[in-house]
Each structure stands twice: as structure tokens, then as C-alpha cells.
Amino acid sequence: MKAAQPQSKFGPRFKAGLTGWLFIALAVLMICAFYFYPMIQALILSFQTGTGSNLSFNGIDNYARLFTDDMFLTAVKNTFIYLIFQVPLMVVLALFISVLLNNPRLKFKGFFRTAIFLPCITSLVAYSVVFKYLFSSDGLVNALLLKVHLIGAPIEWIADPFWAKVTIILAITWRWTGYNMIFYLSGLQNIDNSIYEAARIDGASAIRQFFSITIPMLKPIILFTSITSTIGTLQLFDEVVNITKGGPGNATTSISQYIYNLSFKYSADFGYAATVSYSIVIMIIILAFIQFRVAGDRNE
């Protein structure tokens, strides 16, 4: 019988496992500390009431309060208006531009791609302030529209409840279309050209190719961009605060801005503010679920 080999206390499998764990330990710790721990704390906070640090538990009162709170309901309504108009607009626009830019015969491709991507590296606050001035009642946009006689009197882009929403939607679309376009471009480059060649041989028109090849092949990416855009829109804050301050009245207030107001503008009601944040979480989960159901393949 051979002498037993000197063995470490732990088996080799465990050792390999341990090495693996060590590699990810730091990341796991960080994620726990900076994601999960605050999330759990916020959840606990959302069941508390009081101002500042004088907090006491009040069960689900905060969640019940959401349904009677006009300010919250208006903020939700505004946010969903942005969502319903802005996300499809942006997705379609980004898709359209990316197909144009993917054309092999296009000249100055690099220039156009950079130009369209550029808005999304600008600072949120800086571009919002520029938009505020562009769209002010005596701003450049009104001056231009008046000059070409499209309108007879200046449009109150910031001060009118309807146009203020339009301004916000235009601003977000300008900022984020290029960002989504990049995803579509990379997706388009992954589609094998032979598929298009085969289609052309079969006599499919360009439009038919777009709807029957491009869109189905890009479906996972379209799904991804619409979910990230939905999340982004539900968290909308900078543009609204800087362009309209939520006004006129509360015609453009977003949910995130209401959270900020509850915490810092009104009376430091952190418990209820956390409840409102969790309402966003719930909405995102529901919306993402719907989007997966509508667009996703179940076996993927």
C-alpha cells in the first residue's frame, strides 16, 4: 500500500472553488455594500414615517398614501406621457438612423456616427440649460420658426403645460438617440450579409428586407434598448429640473423629481420618499415583464 499522499485539509475541488471565490470576493462585497445593503435599508425606510431622523414604523400607510397623493399621481402621469411618446419615438429614430449609417456606400460615415453619438457624452445639466435657452419664448427656436413663418406668435415652449412636455421629450430624444443607435449599429454589423444577398436573389425589396430580416435579427437589441430606455425615462430627473423645474405648476414634474422634493425641498420625509422610489422599482419590474412577454422569445 502506498503511503497516503500529504493532503491539505481541503480537497482540490474546494481549493479551486476558494480561488474562484477569492477572485470575486471583492466585487461581491462591494455589490453587497453599495447595492443590496442600501436597497434593503431603503425598503425598511419605506415603511417608516416622520421627518429627518425621527422615524417610526407605520406599516403600509405610506403605500396606501401613494394612491391618494395627487402630486404623486400627476408625477406618474407625466412620466408615463414621456415614456409612451419618447421611447417609441427614440427607438424608431435610432433604428432608422443606424440603418442609414450602415449603408456601405455612405461617405463620411465616421463623421456622421460621431456627430449623432456626440450628444450623449455631453453633461446632462449643461445640455438642459442650453435647451432651456434655445426654447425660451424669445429663444432661437421661436426666432427660427417665426422667420420661416411656420408660426405667427412665439410658442411658450417652457411656460405652457403642453409645450413644456414636448420640450422635455425633444430634449431627451436629442440626448439619447445616438446612444441607442450605437447598439443597433453593432447589431446590424453582426447580421450576415449573405442573408440579405439571398433575399435580394429572391427579389425582396429594401423595405421587405428591413421588416423581414433587419427587425427580427435586431429583436434582442430592440428589447434591450427599450427596457433600458424605459428605466431611464422612469428615472428622469436632470432635464426636468433644469429646463422647467417641473413647471408650469406641476405639468412636467417627474417621479424622481418628486422624490427629491419630498426629501429636500419639502419636509425631509425620507420614509415616504423611499416609498415613492420603491413604486418606481415596482413599475420597472412590471414594464420589463410586459416587454419581455411582448417582444422576447420564451426559449431564449
Partner 1 sequence: MKKMMFLLLATVFMLSACSGNAGSGASSDPAKKEITVWAWDAKFNIAALNLAKERYMAKHPDVTINIIENAQADIVQKLNTGLNSGTTKGLPNIVLIEDYRSQNFLQAYPDSFRDMSDSIKSADFADYKAGPTNYNGKQYGVPFDSGVTGMYVRTDYLKEAGYTPEDMQDIDWDKFIEIGKAVKAKTGKDMLTQDPNDLGLIRAMIQSAGTWYLKEDGKTPNIAGNAALKEAMEDYKAMFDANIVKTNSDWSQFLAAFNSGAVASVPTGNWITPSVKAEASQSGKWAVVPFPTLKNTPNSVHASNIGGSSWYVMNVDGQDTAADFMKETFGSDKELYQDMLNKIGIIGTFKAASTGSAYDKADDFFGGQKIYADFAKWTTEVPNVNYGLHTYAIEDIMAVEVQNYLAGKDIDSVLNDVQAQAEAQLK
Using the contact rule CB under 8 A, the part of the chain among 146-154, 191-199, 206-214, 259-267 near partner 1 is: 259-267
Query: How distant, in Å, are the alpha carbons of 9, 62, 147, 150, 241 from that of 142?
Result: 78, 44, 8, 10, 22
Q: CA 220 to CA 81: how far, in whole Å?
A: 25
Q: Would residue 160 be called left, alpha or beta, if left means φ above 0 and alpha means ψ between -120 and 50 degrees?
A: beta
- 132-157 as b/e, with b when 16 or more CB fall inside 10 Å? bebbbeebebbeeeeeeeeeeeebbb
Can residue 5 be called a binding residue for partner 1 (CB under 8 A)? no
Question: Under rule CB under 8 A, which residues in 61-90 are in contact with partner 1?
Answer: 61, 65, 68-71
Can residue 49 be called a binding residue for partner 1 (CB under 8 A)? yes
Using the contact rule CB under 8 A, the part of the chain among 50-58, 87-95, 96-104, 105-113 near partner 1 is: 50-58
Question: Under rule CB under 8 A, which residues in 129-158 are in contact with partner 1?
Answer: 136-137, 158
Residue from 52, 104, 110, 203 touching partner 1 (CB under 8 A): that is 52
Please, what is the minimum distance in Å from the beta carbon of residue 21 to partner 1? Answer: 7
Question: Which residues partner with 49 through β-bridges?
Answer: 56
Binding mask 29-48 for partner 1 (x = CB under 8 A): x--xx--xx--x--------
Calculated CA dihedral for residues 179, 181, 183, 186, nearest 10 degrees: -130
Can residue 265 be called a binding residue for partner 1 (CB under 8 A)? yes
Q: CA 29 to CA 31: how far, in whole Å?
A: 5
Q: How many CB atoms lie within 10 A of CB 182?
A: 16
Residue from 261, 275, 277, 279 touching partner 1 (CB under 8 A): that is 261
Using the contact rule CB under 8 A, the part of the chain among 52-60, 170-178, 188-196, 202-210 near partner 1 is: 52-60
Residues 6+ apart with CB under 8 A from 66: 72, 275, 276, 279
Using the contact rule CB under 8 A, the part of the chain among 186-194, 206-214, 215-223, 258-266 near partner 1 is: 258-266
Residue with cell 435586431: 218
Question: Under rule CB under 8 A, which residues in 222-251 are in contact with partner 1?
Answer: 245, 247-250
SS3 of residue 48 by DSSP: strand
Measured from the CB atom, the residue of 74 and 98 that comes closer to partner 1 is 74
Interface positions with partner 1 (CB under 8 A): 21, 25, 28-29, 32-33, 36-37, 40, 49, 51-54, 61, 65, 68-71, 136-137, 158-159, 245, 247-250, 261, 263-268, 270
